[in-house]
Amino acid sequence: MFLRPLLRRLPIDPYLIAIVSMAALASIFPCRAAVAAGFDQAARIVIGLLFFLYGARLSPQAAWQGFSHWRLQGLILAGTFALFPALGLAAQILVPRFLPAALYPGLLFLCMLPSTVQSSIAFTSIARGNVAAAVCAASASSLLGIVLTPLLVGLLMGAQGGISLHSVEEILLQLLVPFAAGQLARPWIEAWLSRHKWLTGLVDRGSILLIVYTAFSEGVANGIWHRVDLASLVSVVLVNSLLLGLVLTTTTLASRWLGFSREDEIAIVFCGSKKSLASGIPMINVLFPASIVGLMVLPLILFHQIQLMVCATLARRYARREALPSEHSASSIAAKETMPSAERSRRKRALLKPQEAG
């Protein structure tokens, strides 16, 4: 309990500290073998529970509005499968002076991946955005990515790969089935969830922390940090940060220029700027030879952690901005209610004087 006042005084978001702590913990004490399999299974369960809760909280009308919001969905998909690959191709001008040639294929590959699902929706929820649209956009991106990512890789990188029906089945079972189950259970548990909103928030944040730990554990177990020097690592971090910054800026400006609401903007920004580590690693193993898989995974792992850290802070800022108007109006109302009646009468007469003089 004594840590809370200290964390509140720090200029860094406490949730960001938690994410960094999970990454550091995995680097020092990574889970391996059976333990890693157990954490992976736990992550699957948590993600399923997350989608069940989202399904239970969203009304069918809101879910339909999310699917039918074609302008929003189109902008998110354009960011994921058009803007990102274009920036990845443009990044070739940085090779080899600023970016090692051996790591560029991994950077280009991550630009072709679908959006991550759980963190996109979790951050949209934390930021008080359009969760219904985020659920639909992230799910659609994952499903389309099974087809579009291998096609983009074959077109831009010359690799050949197949589309696994098992991946389609896994997405359906892990995401859409729990969401549909939540929709069916909504009439019975909606009121209970409304009284216990902290549960969804706990699952939101807990799922991201669990993903960070398992992702870093996998990278450490594969010996990623022993294959590159510090200078190469720093260059990849900088290029990844630049890539994410360009996408976040572009999606924010595009959503405002096209007249989207603040809630829709939040969904566009978080769903259109993510890349899925969960989808990326299996696809790398299918599309590329084993001899280069290790180096190709590194840019994806780093980008995944950077996007979580940056978006955690961004989500909190969005949430604070959304809370300010309501807090201001509440304080104004409270001030008016406590104002003496004589003072209220005096101010009312002062406002009416110009009208009487005219």
Report pLDDT digits (tens) over 57-68. Answer: 767 766 666 566
Average pLDDT, the chain: 77
pTM, entire model: 0.66
pLDDT digit string (tens) for 205-216? 787 788 778 877
Q: pLDDT band for 172, please (50, 70, 90 cuts).
A: low
Q: Is the pLDDT of residue 290 over 80?
A: no
Residue-range domains of the chain with CATH: 12-322 (1.20.1530.20)
* DSSP string covering 268-328: HHHHHS---HHHHHHHHHHHS-HHHHHHHHHHHHHHHHHHHHHHHHHHHHHHHHHHHHHHH
Lowest mean pLDDT among 93-102, 169-178, 307-316: 169-178
The neighbour count for residue 163, using CB atoms within 10 Å, is 13
Q: In whole angstroms, what is the distance from residue 318 CA to residue 23 CA?
A: 24
The two three-digit tokens of residue 39, written as one number: 């954490």
pLDDT digit string (tens) for 109-130? 999 998 987 788 889 988 888 8
The two three-digit tokens of residue 210, written as one number: 């669990």
What percentage of the chain exceeds 70 in pLDDT?
73
Q: pLDDT band for 335, please (50, 70, 90 cuts).
A: very low
